[in-house]
Amino acid sequence: MMKTSTKSHSPTSTQSLRDLFDLDQQVPLLDGSLGPYVNFDNAASTPPLRVVQSTLNRFMPWYASIHRGAGFKSQLATDAYETARAITLQFVGTDPRTHVCIFGKNSTEAINKLARRFQFPKGRDVVLVSKMEHHSNDLPYRPLAKVVHVDVQRNGELDEFDFDYKLRYYSGRVGLVAVSGASNVTGLINPIHRLAEKAHAAGAQILVDAAQLAPHRKIEMGPLEDPSHIDYVALSAHKMYAPYGTGALIGRRDTFETGEPDLRGGGEVELVTEDTVLWSSPPDRDEAGSPNVVGAVALAAAIRQLEAIGMDKVAEHEASLTAYALRRLRQIEDVELYGDSDPSRARLRVGVIPFNLKDLSHFLVAAILGHEFGIGVRNGCFCAHPYILSLLGISQEETERVRAKLASHDRRDNPGLVRASFGMYNTLEEVDQFAEALEKIVRGEYLGRYVQDAASGDFVPEGWEARFENFFTI
Ligand X SMILES: Cc1ncc(COP(=O)(O)O)c(C=O)c1O
Among 106, 305, 322, 426, indicate the residue that binds ligand X (CB under 6 A). 106
Distance CA 219, CA 52 (A): 21
Q: Which of 50, 117, 134, 328 binds ligand X (CB under 6 A)?
A: 134
Contacts of 369 (CB under 8 A, 6+ apart): 375, 376, 377, 418, 434, 437, 438, 441
Question: In the complex with ligand X, which residue's Cβ is closer, 17 or 211?
Answer: 211
Helix 160-169 to helix 192-201 angle, to the nearest 10 degrees?
20
Q: How far apart are CA 52 and CA 294, in angstroms?
A: 10
The answer to whether residue 46 forms part of the interface with ligand X (CB under 6 A) is no
Q: How far is the CB of 210 from ligand X (least distance, A)?
A: 8
Distance of alpha carbon 10 from the chain centroid: 24
336 to 355: interface string for ligand X, x by CB under 6 A: --------------------
236 belongs to the binding site for ligand X (CB under 6 A): yes
Nearest residue to 61 (alpha-carbon basis) of 79, 50, 76: 76
Binding test (CB under 6 A) with ligand X, winner from 108, 305, 341, 379: 108
Least distance between ligand X and beta carbon 409 (Å) = 24
Residue 292 as a binder of ligand X (CB under 6 A): the answer is no
Catalytic site residue from 383, 417, 418, 420: 383
Asked if 261 contacts 239 with a C-beta cutoff of 8 angstroms, the reply is no
Rounded alpha-carbon distances, angstroms, from residue 189 to 100, 209, 214, 252:
25, 11, 11, 23
Q: Are 108 and 136 in contact (CB under 8 A)?
A: yes
Q: Is 184 in the site for ligand X (CB under 6 A)?
A: yes
59-98 residues near ligand X, rule: CB under 6 A: none
- Exactly one of 39, 107, 186, 414 binds ligand X (CB under 6 A); that residue is 107
Binding flag, residue 361, ligand X (CB under 6 A): no
Please give the residues from 207 up to 226 whose contact with ligand X meets the rule CB under 6 A.
209, 211-212
- CB 367 to ligand X: min, Å: 21
Among this protein's residues, is 383 annotated catalytic?
yes
Helix axes 72-91, 293-309, angle to 10 degrees: 40
Residues 243-262 that bind ligand X (CB under 6 A): 247
Q: What is the DSSP letter of 380?
A: E
Q: Which residues are near ligand X by CB under 6 A?
A: 43-44, 106-108, 134, 136-137, 180, 184, 209, 211-212, 236, 247
- Which residues are annotated as catalytic? 383
